[in-house]
Amino acid sequence: MSRLHELFHVHGQSIWLDFISRDLIRSGQLQALIDQGVRGVTSNPTIFDQAIGSGRGYDDDLARLAAAGATPFQAYDALSQADVAAAADLLRPLYEASDGADGFVSIEVNPDLAYDTEATVAEARRLWEALDRPNIMIKVPATPPGIVAIRRLIAEGINVNATLMFSLAHYDAVAYAYIEGLEARAARSQDVSRVASVASFFVSRIDTVVDKALAAAGNTAWQGRVAVANAKLAYRRFGEVFSGPRWEALAACGARYQRPLWASTSTKNPAYSDLHYVNPLIGPHTVNTMPLTTLEAALERVVVARTVDEGLDEAQSVIAGLADLGIDFHRVTEDLQVAGVEAFARSFHHLLDTIAARLGALVPA
């Protein structure tokens, strides 16, 4: 049994891979990782920029698409959907064996739509219908318009990965959007038992910003601690939201927890352990999605122990103490969400430019 299997069977944490590419799928590497305990896959525009922009496994499809006169977006749409569908098919046996609890692959809506509810809903519906697999999750950013979209999509029975969450306020908005969406389904006597969702809480990016502010404030003792503290408080909030009469009424209808998913868990600061955002956040009903390098480190050295609800008083003190240091943590997390949307949009447009160049070079003379 691998360490990833232990994390799931002993402590209830699912490890997902935060990467996808044609080569990963065709080489058998993804299947090998599934065999070692990977239970899902996440993607985003930056990941597809890396995969399609440099991967030679897309050449034949690009040539075919160029000959057909595809636009850069049409080519991206075809290539990304093909990869997500192939990965979902590899994970389908796990989805079935877990009774729909795991085995998901996520694909993100066009990041240009992050502040447009109607366009986000329409794009999510289009991807859901085109991929036509029960183990797909549509990633929707937790912007204010995205929150409205999440509620509507859940009410329609579409699986959602709510992404780009950095604060407890973001978490609350997402969690209640999920609950309200389920309640709308239940009020129409529609099945809630097959609707799945995760709440993707970004971790390391917080320390990247706050560590600089802490250094300026003369407090280096808290460097590298704020992001984990924030995630631990989000997990505590998860326990509060998904309990009590309101949730129990949905659970009685078969509703599933919306699991917290720890995202951005690769270590950005080389002074920190490569598992700095993995070892402290292990616990039941959680997901940690990791890039390949972090996943490989976890396979070798992750400490298999429940840690996510340890040190909560200390975590509360750290977050509360930021204001005394002149650090506006609310502003930090809001700015990080805006920057996250912008970063995905930049990656998306860079990818479209790359595809345009490659299509242009492949158009028959």
Q: Is 139 a catalytic residue?
A: yes
Q: Are 253 and 189 in contact (CB under 8 A)?
A: no
182 bridge partner residues: none
Give the integer Cα–Cα distance in Å for 273 and 324: 28
Taking Cα atoms as reference points, which of 333, 305, 364 lies closest to residue 209? Answer: 333
- Phi-psi sector, 278: left (phi>0), alpha (psi -120 to 50), beta: alpha
Which residue, among 217, 252, 179, 187, has the nearest Cα to 325 in the 3D structure? Answer: 217
Report how far residue 39's alpha carbon sits from residue 22's, in angstroms, rounded to the nearest whole number.
18
Whole-number Å distance between alpha carbons of 276 and 267:
7
**CA-CA distance, 197 to 200, in Å (whole number)?**
10
> What is the token pair recorded at 189?
């006597």
CB 149 within 8 A of CB 140: yes
Between CA 332 and CA 325 the distance in angstroms is 14
Strands 259-263 and 286-290: parallel
Query: Pick the catalytic residue: 139, 212, 232, 268?
Result: 139
Residue 269: which of 212, 351, 324, 317 has the closest Cα?
Answer: 212
Question: Are the CB atoms for 291 and 19 separated by under 8 Å?
Answer: yes
Q: How far apart are CA 260 and CA 79, in angstroms?
A: 29
CA–CA dist 41, 315 (Å, integer): 29
What residue ranges in 71-188 does DSSP mark as E strands? 104-108, 136-141, 160-165
Task: Name the residues annotated as catalytic.
Answer: 139
